[in-house]
Structure 1
Amino acid sequence: MKKLAYLILIFCTVTSFGQRYMDTNDPKDEEVKSLLSKKNDLNAFGALDLKIGDLMGERGMLVGAYGGFIINRRYLFGVAGYGLVTAIEFDGLVPGQTEPKQLNLHGGYGGILIGGTIAPRELIHISIPVVLGAGTMEVVDKDYFVNNPADSEFTIENSVFFVAEPGIEVEFNITKYFRLGAGMTYRYISGTELENVKDEDVSGTTAMISFRFGRF
């Protein structure tokens, strides 16, 4: 009986709130809210990122760009791409050899960008970008062909991978069309199929600086 009484009480409460909402919010008088509504403010933007973090125990720099649209000054939708621009050297094994030698890591990734901005009209505010996508990575031996100094490089192995990279930035409104941001991201990589590189070797935090241009 107690359970039945509780259910009746909950039903009556929900019904009461529902009726009150219907009385004060006539669906005929209000359009269904959506991100792509004609009433929303839609502006394009583009940005350049510099990221510094550890890969294979070495400090490396990633340079990239992203762009898309800002909806209602708060929501970010677009695409992004990043590439490793510094030499990452580590000791690894070449197939068929037993002695470790110095190898190099090359790679990059890209995908869709989603995110949001907290208090975008303030001079200093918070931006939360998230990149979801895929990338490619390769391990290179720069001295593989010792008898051909003009072109001695050889790709030992390569692989594609999945990447998810959430971040948080503190942004500054420099002008109406330019924002400068600084923050951190965490790069999560999964699915590498390499003998010399594991997922955890290339996953980790990065410090970043962002230069964003658009109509904000």
Structure 2
Amino acid sequence: MKKNLTSMTLFLLLIAGCAYAQDEMQTVFKSGGRITGYGALTNKFTGIRGKYANISGVYGGVYLNQRLFLGLGGAASTNDIAVPAEYSAIPGADLTYQYGQCGLVTEYVLNSNKLFHVTFSLFSGAGFTLQYDRHDWDDWDDWDDDDDFDDRWDRDNSHDENWFTVVEPGVQVEVNVFKWMRFSPGVSYRAAFGSDGKGLSDSDLSDISYNVTLKFGRF
């Protein structure tokens, strides 16, 4: 009887030892992994139809294990991008192209704790353009009545609304300015697919962008 108990005990100890010796299970996110987040202000210097375009944007999201960022963002043009007369939605009117985009922002950071490091980024989402009358600042003083404002906006703006797909990969050289702030100059390429706006083919909307970004948060 004692011999059987001793054999059974040794057998159970052997099984427990084998189980303990097995490699730790690999998972996408490690138990107790670091999850933080940050937001960013960015400005891009690029072109639309071969003309200079300034595009400002914001984005924010979660930062996983000091490597992978997942978030949402949006951006829009801020300067006058004149519509050629032959493509104007209102014949004889001086209109401006408005460009915008919104969607998913992902970033992968190498050596995040180093003073200088590299970040790879990807924007994927929807883009849009429209034509509008870029009023002088003095004109806005006359728009005191809300109904009058709505009527004039519908009449003078949102012409030739155009939606399409945008994919924009990029790379940044990132500098840790403070523990809570990073400065990230970089370059990206905006690729548009499916545009049918007047005077705006996919190639007119696709171009390289030089950008500067400030990031704030917990890294």
- Per the normalisation by structure 1, the TM-score is 0.77
What does residue range 13-28 of structure 1 map to in structure 2 within 5 Å? 28=22
Which residue identity is paired with 2:25? E
1:132 is matched with 124
Corresponding residue of 1:204: 207
Number of aligned residues:
185
Deviation at 1:155, TM superposition (A): 3.9
Closer/same/farther in 2, CA of residues 164 and 46 from structure 1, 3 Å limit: same
Listed as ranges, the matches of 1:183-198 within 5 Å are 183-198=186-201
In structure 1, runs of 5+ residues without a counterpart are 1-23, 144-148
Give the secondary-structure state (helix, strand or coil) at the position aligned to 1:195.
coil
Distance 1:77 1:70 in 2: 7
1:124–1:172 Cα contact (<8 Å) kept: yes
Asked which structure has the greater RCO (Cα within 8 Å, sep 6+), the reply is 2
Contact 1:141/1:155 (<8 A) preserved:
no
Runs of 4+ deviating beyond 6 Å: 24-27
Summarize the Cα distance change of 1:109–1:95 in structure 2 as closer, same or farther, 3 Å threshold: closer
Query: Quick one: structure 1 residues 215 and 139, their matched pair in 2 at CA, closer, same or farther if it must change by over 3 Å?
Result: same
> Max radius of gyration: which structure?
2
1:1-216 equivalences in 2 (<5 Å): 28-35=22-29, 37-91=30-84, 92-94=86-88, 102-140=94-132, 151=152, 153-216=156-219
Structure-1 separation of matches of 2:99 and 2:122: 20
Q: Secondary structure at the match of 1:89?
A: coil
2:13 alignment counterpart: none
Give the distance between the partners of 1:27 and 1:105, measured in 2 at CA: 65
Structure 2 unmatched ranges of 5 or more: 1-17, 136-141, 144-151
- 3-state secondary structure, aligned to 2:95: strand
Query: Counting strand residues as a fraction of each chain, which structure ranks higher?
Result: 1
SS of 1:88's partner is: coil
Q: Give the CA RMSD over aligned residues.
A: 2.6
Cα contact 1:93–1:101 (8 A) shared by 2: no
Q: 1:156 to 1:123 in 2, by over 3 A?
A: same
Cα distance per residue 1:28-60 (max 9 Å; x no partner): 54122213x333111111111011111122111
1:87 Cα shift? 1.2
TM-score by length of 2: 0.76
